[in-house]
Structure 1
Amino acid sequence: MLIDRNIKYRDILILAIIALISYKLIDNYQYIFSSIKNLYSIVTPFVYALIFAYILNPIMKFFEKKFKLKRGLAIGLTYLVIIGVIALIAVFVIPNLVDSIITMIAEVPSYMNTAQDFIDKVLENKDIYSVVQDAGLTEHLSAITSKTGTYIVSGLESSVSSIVVLTTNVVKILLGFLIAIYILLDKESLIRNAKLIICMIFKQERGEKIISWIKIYNKMIGTYVGTKALDSLIIGIIALVGLIIMRAPYSIILAIVVGFTNMIPYFGPLVGIVVSATVALFVKPSLVIIIVIFLLILQQFDAWYLEAKLVGKKVGVKPLLIMVAVLVGGGLLGPVGMILGSPTIATIKLAYDKIVENYKNKISNNKNADLK
């Protein structure tokens, strides 16, 4: 009886301590978030290093297996390839991209006038004008056009300022790029120690299960991101060729936007179409419908054929679950979270299916035992 009473008091004490800690955490949330932010700022180079090491690891392994190179030489060749690709992009793509963005910002007022003239010509049609007038939209069209121009200018300027902010972190990125070399050199040792720590914290059996699921998640990310990147590259190239043939304005920028946003399932292609249509509306309104139709056909080709061939069979998750994962991932981690949403939900679904299967097997075994 005394033992039960002591256990009861101990449980109450534990709950009281948990409640007190929770209260203090909530009461000082601003200080806690500030501390976490400062800590993240300190460890940012190491976070970059882990990301770089994760991305470069497949290339390094390719050189090791294909050419039978030692680890150091494989890493050196990997870095030479990456630096070469970055140099080519810096020489051939970035200058044109920056010039296009600067030109776009400078010419926004003239684009607004073009759009206004296009609206005026449309409204010259009496049937269309009467519909617009009956809806009470006539007096708002000019205001909408001017406000849209303001939003575009501010959006482009904020994009430029974001690039400036990114350049302020270039030292951390370079440090991460260098630290990644040492992570790749000692990869096996680091992985072995990480597994040991997991097993020490969660005990051997549970730790091994966690490690197995980490391996599955890692495979899911590699499979999805790799195939989706290839899919988006193909879509971006097709978009670039099509936009150049149509003589669309800022074809390179729009193709990059279409290719990059295609990495985000379901919502990404829509964003690419809207951005392309908006730019065309203010620069070359006569091409808006053609560009939208072309990108819609391209999106359907990707969804029903290309993506189904490359990505669809690799993930194996219902569209609704992927949409939820994309929205949740975007809310938590932004674009990166939206990209990682699919492999994350695929891993969770696998874990859920495994738990359900084990539960059904357990019930079946219990029934068989009762029959005996």
Structure 2
Amino acid sequence: MTQSTRWFWLTVGLISAGLLYFLAPILLPFVAGALLAYLGDPLVDRLEKFNISRTLSVVVVFFVAFLIILPILLFLIPLLESQIRLLFAKAPSYIDWLMVNLEPKLQETFGVNIPALEVEQLKSTFTDYFSHAGSFFKSLLRTVTHSGFVVVGWAANLFLIPVISFYLLRDWDRLVAYIHDLLPRDVEPTISQLAKESDDVLGAFLRGQMMVMLALGTIYSIGLKLVGLEFSLLIGMLAGLLSFIPYMGLIVGIIVAGAAVLLQTHDPMNLLWVGAVFVIAQMIEGTVLTPLLVGDRIGLHPVAVIFAVLAGGQLFGFFGILLALPVFAVIAVVMRHLNKSYKGSHLYGSPPESYIATDDDEASSKAS
């Protein structure tokens, strides 16, 4: 790579990063639309094999997705709303139980004394919010409608996401071919290989892991419902949503569900049933869901996943959180390629291949 070429790609990278940073507030519908188009492209490609036109295939995929998503939202949102209302309604009684049973032990063991005034303020906060807000989603809508620009922004995003997704999905293969044609011929094989590996990683995560998250959330919710937990759907879906970070959903789910069942029943023996639900769910995930839906192609360390999500949120807000893991998966593929290239270069200082002893050579020398 010549000096001018390096400066060219450095300039392109800096300009792209600057545009991404400054345009982040308006990029959410485009990123969401691109992700949906990426998820739907394999389905459209399969329909095209039956001699169905690309546009009609996209329409069919959109229609089927609408038929699947709409009933879920119509049933799920009211159930979640009712459980949130129930949580706010019962929070004061839970706080009273904690003060009666937990405060003496804290004071006896650690010398911690919880001021009664702060407890009463906390209870009044829950009571006031529940009595005035009425409905969680109505309250959210009321908060959003305080600003006309916010309403316009939300409406525009809700309208633009499916429109952008439709057009990107219709022209997806054409766009990929166009980008491939623009690549410099000397780096095209390397970039094509990196793109293929990145597609394997992104496909495994976006298509497989999301299905695992939904399946785990469903298993958690059903299991906690059988245990008798009142907030089974709310806690189960929360644990399923967090399961994209390895063990995070398990840890958070056990802690929250354990605290909830203890506050509800006051019987520590129910903690065993909660633990059994999560253990069985993890066994199903490890033996069935992950091997079947995801495989072992992601290869992202849990700490790296947490860092990617936090860094994306810090830099770009919700848009950054949405884009963090796909971008980090691609970066991980590129870093593995750079690591391999570095170890094969003179900078690493590795000896020539002819002087590297293999395991068979070592074994034969020991035997002699």
Task: Report the TM-score when normalising by structure 2.
Answer: 0.70
Q: Which residue of 2 aligns with 1:91?
A: 74
Matched, 1:226 2:211: no
Q: Which residue of 2 aligns with 1:329?
A: 308
d(CA) in 2 for partners of 1:260 and 1:283? 24
After superposition, give the CA deviation of every residue in 1:165-205 in whole Å (9 maximum; x if it has no partner): 697524213212112212122222211222233x2xxx322
Comparing 178-187 and 301-310, the one that deviates more: 301-310
d(CA) in 2 for partners of 1:180 and 1:308? 27
Comparing 359-368 and 225-234, the one that deviates more: 359-368
Matched, 1:266 2:251: no
Match of 2:341 among 313, 336, 355: 355
Contact 2:198 2:330 survives alignment (8 Å): yes
- CA gap of 1:155–1:299, structure 2 versus 1, over 3 A, is farther
**Identity over the aligned pairs, expressed in percent?**
20
How far residue 101 of structure 1 moved from its aligned partner, in angstroms, is 1.5
Contact 1:273 1:295 survives alignment (8 Å): no
d(CA) in 2 for partners of 1:90 and 1:303? 24
- CA gap of 1:248–1:42, structure 2 versus 1, over 3 A, is closer
How far residue 81 of structure 1 moved from its aligned partner, in angstroms, is 0.9
After superposition, give the CA deviation of every residue in 1:125-165 in whole Å (9 maximum; x if it has no partner): xxxx5x8515313x2386786687689899999x9677866
Higher relative contact order (CA 8 A, sep 6+): 2
d(CA) in 2 for partners of 1:180 and 1:50? 6
d(CA) in 1 for partners of 2:126 and 2:344? 54
Secondary structure of 1:205's partner?
coil
d(CA) in 2 for partners of 1:326 and 1:63? 34
- CA gap of 1:119–1:45, structure 2 versus 1, over 3 A, is closer
Amino acid in structure 1 at the alignment position of 2:111:
G
Q: Which residue of 2 aligns with 1:297?
A: 279
Secondary structure of 2:111's partner?
coil
Task: Report the TM-score when normalising by structure 1.
Answer: 0.69
Contact 2:214 2:240 survives alignment (8 Å): yes
- Pairing of 1:27-46 with structure 2 (within 5 A): 39-46=23-30
Match of 2:161 among 161, 173, 176: 176
Structure 2: 5+ residue runs without aligned partners? 1-6, 145-149, 314-320, 357-368
How far residue 74 of structure 1 moved from its aligned partner, in angstroms, is 0.9
Aligned residues: 322
Q: Which residue of 2 aligns with 1:364?
A: 352
Contact 2:254 2:274 survives alignment (8 Å): yes
Structure 1: 5+ residue runs without aligned partners? 1-13, 26-31, 124-128
Instruction: Tell which structure's C-alpha radius of gyration is larger.
Output: 1
- CA gap of 1:90–1:363, structure 2 versus 1, over 3 A, is same
d(CA) in 1 for partners of 2:305 and 2:37? 25
